[in-house]
Structure 1
Amino acid sequence: VAAGTARGAQLGVLFRSAGALEAASSIEVACFDKTGTLTAGKPAIIGVHAADDRMLAYAAAAERSSEHPIARAIVDGARELVIPEAREVVATPGSGVQAIVDGVRVLVGTAEFLQLAGVDVPADDKFPGATLCHVAIDGRYAGVIAVADPPSGEARAVIDRLRAMNIDAIMITGDREAAAQWIAGQVGIERVHAGVRPNEKAAIVAAEPRRVAMIGDGVNDAPALASADLGIALGTVTEIAAASAGVTLMRGGIGGVPTVFALARAALSTIRRNLVGASIYNVVCIPIAAAGLLSPILASAAMSLSSVTVLLSSLRLRNWPPE
């Protein structure tokens, strides 16, 4: 276990406990968040439909304190505008944010988020592959901001590698179906759960009958990370998500996900090999020593040799090559 976790640290994979290493060795399903995990995490505004001239500046004001990549894209897109101060900011994970800006209530989030607040949201299919952030000002619909985030450059290779390891990949995201399916098609994921709230993510993970890992990077993913047999957090993860995960990828990105499972399998294989070898050694040698066929000095040396053999076998993990 020590050799496996040490080799993981060298490769940028931090196993927080021996239990995490053991759990990683038996994973059959890997569930991925979308934004910032399967995507590059550098979204940008690709379109704005505004029914109110204040819409983009007010949306940026409400989102300015958020660390979510979509929120950062909105703020960056409004950097040439005068962004007023927001107060009484309340974020609803997986749905949106509300705040008071210039004395009026501003809502920014999903269509469902605005509808629950009594705002009529028109249908918009102009940006099928984008994430849509709808905005309401003072109880009236003010427009929509379309944000697109391209797939991570390593996502396709990671999914292919997991498939070769007989690990199924699933996407679980709070984004709308069209945007989720577009990213899934780009990276090779067939099973998608879209429009999912954070607590629903946890329920989907908990309902999976096979051994499941959850990979995510945000506050929205914390309940699902905690519900999975193994939570894997990215290096850019929030403190809440990191506390819920058994493994952290220190180098950021999902490129290390296959390494987590492959190294854990190698470590558990080594443990089993050592256990079997030591058991056979003792079954053979103890009766010989008990029968007096070995001198006490030779028996002591043989027992020490058994321990050294197990140690050397374990240390081979220090040079384990990631594929």
Structure 2
Amino acid sequence: MLNEILAHRVLIVLGKGGVGKSTLSAAIAKLATVSGARALIMECDARAPLASTFGVASSFVPTAVAHNLSLMTLDGRAALEEYLRLVVPGRMLLKAVFASRLYQFFVQAAPGLRELMMLGKVFYDAGLDGDKAPARNVIVVDAPASGQAMSLLKMPTAARSTFGDSVVGKEASNISKMLRDRRHCAIVQVTTADSLSISETIETHAQLSSIHLTPAAVLFNRIPPSEFDADDISALANRRGPHLRKKDLDHLAELAKSELNRAAEARKALAKIRKETGGPVFEIAEHSGLSGIDLIDRITADLARHCEHETVPRAAHRR
């Protein structure tokens, strides 16, 4: 199933703030390059956390950050100006438009149009306008936090209704078709085990399904390791030896119990997500002590193993 998701031209990753959405967006994009595909990450956060992670300046122009992997910041105003360059003839006229007070007021007063143009940038860079082959194989959109992401994804439908058969209305229609084309576009949710993330993931999943944008999968991030059980904790607490103090052993046993409870809660949350969403859920292990590119690389390796497990049985079946 993960291999099928990676076959899409556009992957939109969304989730509550703090669940590791940006890290997983980068890991998904890097995984796409493992098979030789070219990938572009578009991050929507103006603070550009991924640009900082990869050690490059935030830019509306794609910047290479690894082999076959580029990164850019998706900015609504820059996307609008790029679009106008395509439809307004003459540099002098365009320069005058950008400098005018009316244009500045229009940009500030119409944030919805900027959101529409952000998705339009995804649409055109994915090569889904039919006029050219896609410049890159996979675009991974590190979307805003769930609430903002819902507004972003609803904008094309709203704009299509508002602007009708105008140029903007037709653009909105094309973008809306892209989002709902399950051959080319897939939405992936990210969650962790904390109750707020679980609730928001389930609520967002229902909202997306109600507008015919059912997510293709959920990535359940930071699953605690289960390397011991209650019997192991009991054995630890009852150990004896000349250099072992009961106070220290009891403290370690309490820490172990806390981790065991955390793992149990994560399993309950995982079961709830599977039940409420009804779609594929991929477990991403917690990697304490790792951050930045090291964490991205580790998660990429974890996801690659998911893909290998999907491929091997199919190959065996063909034989």
Give the TM-score, by structure 1 length.
0.24
The structure with the largest alpha-carbon Rg is 1
Task: Point out the structure with the larger strand share.
Answer: 1
